[in-house]
Copies of this chain bind each other. A is one copy, B any other.
Amino acid sequence: MRYQAEHKIAIHQKIVKDAARRVRAEGMTGTAVGAVMRDAGLTHGGFYKHFRNKDELLTESLSEAFGQIGDSLAQVARRAKPGMEWKAIVKAYLSLEHCDHAEWGCPVAALGPELARANQQSKERVLAEVMRYRNKLAPMMPGRRRADKERAFFAIYSTMVGAVEIARMLPSPAMREKVLKTARDFLLRSF
């Protein structure tokens, strides 16, 4: 290889990261290949030296996005006092900060319905990501047995996703915070 072996890989990673951000901000349909390449400081044509097509980029950036918040929330839990892990996750997820920055946040909250419309094959891939996500966070959830924790994960996660999504539709920060707080209080009292 003429260029350092790392070079192409580094560029590829940068494109994926920029796409992971843009996709959450503008949706999968709303994200143009050209825009992502511009983010990465490149032009649209070179795109196909890195990806077979747009779908491949979307798949990789989804994976990147799931990895990002999965790790971020796991870290929040690690910094929490013992027994408070899941509460720390709820507070972080239901923060105004997360609500107002979909581009760095949970891809389910940012892209749910679009993922729901994907074809069977894409859904299988999404499933794998969701399971990876769940496996990362379920241990921090309330409950004794593994199965209890997994059920708790889905109950809590459902509430968090819905609350953030509803809040994001609202025009004022005060209203958003009110919805978030309602969900926070509800969850923190429920387990």
Shortest CB-to-CB span from A53 to chain B, Å, is 18
Interface membership of A68, Cβ < 8 A:
no
Among B110, B117, B168, B182, contact of A30 (Cβ-Cβ < 8 Å): B117
Interface residues in chain A, defined as those with a beta carbon under 8 Å from any beta carbon in chain B: 25-27, 29-30, 102, 108-118, 120, 123-124, 126-127, 130, 151, 154-155, 157-163, 165-166, 168-171, 175, 179, 182-183, 185-186, 190
| Pairs across A and B, CB under 8 Å, 23 listed | A30-B117, A102-B113, A102-B116, A109-B113, A110-B113, A112-B113, A112-B166, A112-B169, A113-B165, A115-B168, A116-B169, A123-B171, A127-B175, A151-B182, A155-B159, A155-B182, A157-B166, A158-B163, A158-B166, A158-B179, A158-B183, A161-B162, A190-B190
